[in-house]
Amino acid sequence: MQEIIDAGEVPLKGKNEDKMTYWKKKEMDMMVTSVPGMEKVLRRRDIPRSLGVANGDDPTFKTMKTDTKRTVEACGLILNTFEDLEGPILDEIRKHIPNLYSIGPIHEARLESEPEGMESSHNHSSSLWEEDRRCIAWLDSQPTSSVIYVSFGSMTILTRDELLEFWYGLVNSGHRFLWVMRPESIMGNESGNGNEIPVELEEGTKSRGCMVGWVPQQEVLAHPAIGAFFTHSGWNSTIESIAIGLPMLCWAYFADQMTNSRFVSEVWKVGLDMKDTCNRITVEKMVKEVMDVRRDELSERAHSMAMLVRKAISKGGTSYLNLNLLIEFLKSMV
């Protein structure tokens, strides 16, 4: 992180510059060249937004500096990823932390290790919210690969205007959609004047949509009716989608999601990135891109990546071997 600061590549906005003006600046598309392994990939808009502060005294900024510095002092590092996905980046990290163990995707490794005949891990859940399983029955009635699954995770908060732009875009795309919308995920979601839903959205949702509070995500992603995942690009969601072999449409919200969405679209090429924009025309266009225009191309790439996941977690694969090395390393510390 210090190298990015020294190179002047951290996008420090002016003290009086509002958030939207800042993220729309042309300078945000300049490449970041001081992060080893990412020189030709990362733009300023693709690094965590917590770096977009007016000065180095910002508490979050200072915490990131401290945590980054302490990381290299660790005796080992365990990462939920795999070598074929992030090999060059992992090699760079190993220069600072040799004892690095990439053992992911962890949820798939658990599935691989379950005894034959045991219930699928896709039906296991550690969710903090109650899952609405009516969505599975709805998916069962939909054609294969016809539904775009929409979920922005457990922390994303939308304004009402953003909600409507996403909603109009989904309805206008003409595609079926399953949308996870937590009650607390909409800013100012109190009952009262101004919260009415336009008739055209209600009608479009009744005919082609299903909206629920929470879902068994791994089971949904694996359902044959799902054709793509409209995601906030949180790492769990990203790695789960990669493991299933599902194309993604990425609307990153904060933190590492900004970088994840860039890698999905430009490095792994298993999806599209629409960060820093939220209007119905763009949403409609991007949904059609991932579900129609580039469907075959993205699906083929996503399927190939899923095959690499299976290879990594199978006996003799990189994640399988790294897990065994990790076990031996932990034993040596006792």
Would you say domain 129-308 falls under CATH 3.40.50.2000?
A: yes
How far apart CA 102 and CA 318 sit, in angstroms, is: 8
Residue ranges in 215-294 assigned as alpha helix (H): 217-221, 235-244, 257-262, 280-288
Q: What is the pLDDT of residue 38?
A: 87
Non-local CB neighbours of 186 within 8 Å, separated by 6+ positions = 157, 158, 159, 160, 163
Higher pLDDT, 175 or 192: 175
Q: Give me the amino acid identity at 264.
A: V
Q: Model's pTM, two decimal places? A: 0.88
pLDDT in tens, 81-112: 999 999 999 999 999 999 999 999 999 876 55
Q: What is the pLDDT of residue 334?
A: 85
- Long-range CB pairs of 137-141, under 8 A, 24+ apart, other chains included: 138/178, 138/210, 139/178, 139/210, 139/220, 139/223, 139/225, 139/226, 140/225
- pLDDT of residue 121 exceeding 50, the answer is no
Residue boundaries of the structural domains of the chain: 2-71, 129-308
Chain-centre distance of CA 280, in angstroms?
A: 21
**Coil, strand or helix: which one is 306?**
helix
